[in-house]
Amino acid sequence: MSVNQTNSTLDVITTELNNNLDEIISWRRYLHQHPELSFQEKETAKFIEEKLVSFGLEVKTNIGGNGLLGILKGSKPGKTIALRADFDALPIDDEKEVAYKSLNPGVMHACGHDGHTSALLGTAQTLSKFKEHIKGTVYFIFQPAEETPPGGAKFMIEEGVLDSVDYVFGAHLASEIPLGKVAVGEGYKMAAVDKFEIIIEGKGGHGARPHESNDPIVIGSDIVSALQKIVSRKIDPLKSAVVTLGVFQSGNAFNVIPDTARLEGTVRTFDSEIRKDVKDHIHSILKGITEGFQATYKIDYLLGYPALFNHKKETDIVRKLFQETFNEGAAVDLETSMGAEDFSYYLQEKPGTYFRVGAQNESESTHYPHHHPKFDFDERALLNIEKAFVKIVSHYLF
């Protein structure tokens, strides 16, 4: 297809996307009212399946749990491009006063996954009407359980969702980026995330006779202090790492020394060697301190998502495509973050890139951070996700 023919087809597709925006928004609001937690998204999966079937796509279900794959085969052979959306929610009470407020107490789409799903469904709906222009195949990956390690991506990949894929792309709404901007960037952009739980086993007793006990709170306090020195004294200062303790629980009476203490925390890194070093240092500190106090410990250390690495070639292509689709200044730099995202698993397997789509407007309602109980976004950003995905598909398959 010539450049002029491609542009003409894209103009028609863009008109179709614009005309369908109200329907896409209605899907998003329905999903927002009916959120489901990670690994529990059965009704959401049914909703997605019904839509994909209605578009005339081949649909595979129950991939890696509740995951789905919609397959759009073009009129001629060619590359296979995968586009991914996640669809799980978070254990948060929805505090917004809107008509589409969550109907499931304690569960909320507080990270935009309802929007990702609706936008990818809209992309599939529209592209299915133009398959005669497609030279190759588009995979629409709908992934569960992004919010909960080890994550849905890992299980979907293990069941072969990427086996025939040449390139993979993912988008995420961003309440910190203005509407109309799209953030792209190469290299490591999100951190590996690990979780640990530590049980300190001491010996309880009366608070007035501490010498007869072995206080797990005191031992745990030393461990907390020592763990905070890993980054400052054991890691190359030119490399990044975070060790954070988020839970320290022990005892239930002011005058009783408890038997045990429980600590939970997270480790964030980019470099795989640093990731291993931090884990080793944690084990070494636990062993040394507990042995010094004649106590024992147990640790459950979960290796979560790997660091997200955007491939240079595909990122450069996407940046140029977005400048063409939106405007010259639309593509802004994607800031590196210690947050985590299991799209990293896809990028370990196939070349591609992950980008963030601005969803903030002048209203304060769109300024809340992700995972906040009042999180919301400008729904026009759904159209920008669709345009971004369509432009990527046109580059590789038109």
**Catalytic-residue membership of 379:** no
Q: Do 215 and 178 belong to one domain?
A: no
DSSP code per residue over 137-169: EEEEEEE--SSSTT-HHHHHHHTTTTTT-SEEE
Which of these is catalytic: 41, 146, 341, 379? 146
Which of residues 285, 303, 321 is at a domain's end? 303
**Catalytic-residue membership of 114:** no
Which of residues 272, 303, 334 is at a domain's end? 303
Q: What is the pLDDT of residues 277-332, one digit of tens each?
A: 999 999 999 999 999 999 999 999 999 999 999 999 999 999 999 999 998 899 99
Contact 120, 389 (CB under 8 A): yes
Which of residues 288, 303, 318 is at a domain's end? 303
Q: Do 315 and 176 belong to one domain?
A: yes
| Exposure string for 255-279, b = 16+ CB within 10 A, e = fewer | eebbbbbebebbbbbbbeebbebbb
Percent of the chain with pLDDT over 90: 97
- Asked if the model's pLDDT at residue 344 lies above 90, the reply is yes
Q: Do 38 and 139 belong to one domain?
A: yes
Domain region containing 281: 192-303
| Exposure string for 111-149, b = 16+ CB within 10 A, e = fewer | bbbbbbbbbbbbbbbbbbebbebbebbbbbbbbbbbbbb
Which of these is catalytic: 36, 41, 86, 88? 88
Contact 67, 141 (CB under 8 A): yes
* DSSP classification of residue 320: H
Q: What is the CATH number of the domain that holds 143?
A: 3.40.630.10
Q: Do 130 and 279 belong to one domain?
A: no
Q: Do 42 and 69 belong to one domain?
A: yes
- The model carries a pTM of 0.94
Give the model's confidence band at 2: pLDDT under 50 very low, under 70 low, under 90 confident, else very high. Answer: confident
Q: What is the pLDDT of residues 370-395, one digit of tens each?
A: 999 999 999 999 999 999 999 999 99
| Exposure string for 317-346, b = 16+ CB within 10 A, e = fewer | bbbebbeebbeeebbbebeeebebbbbbbb
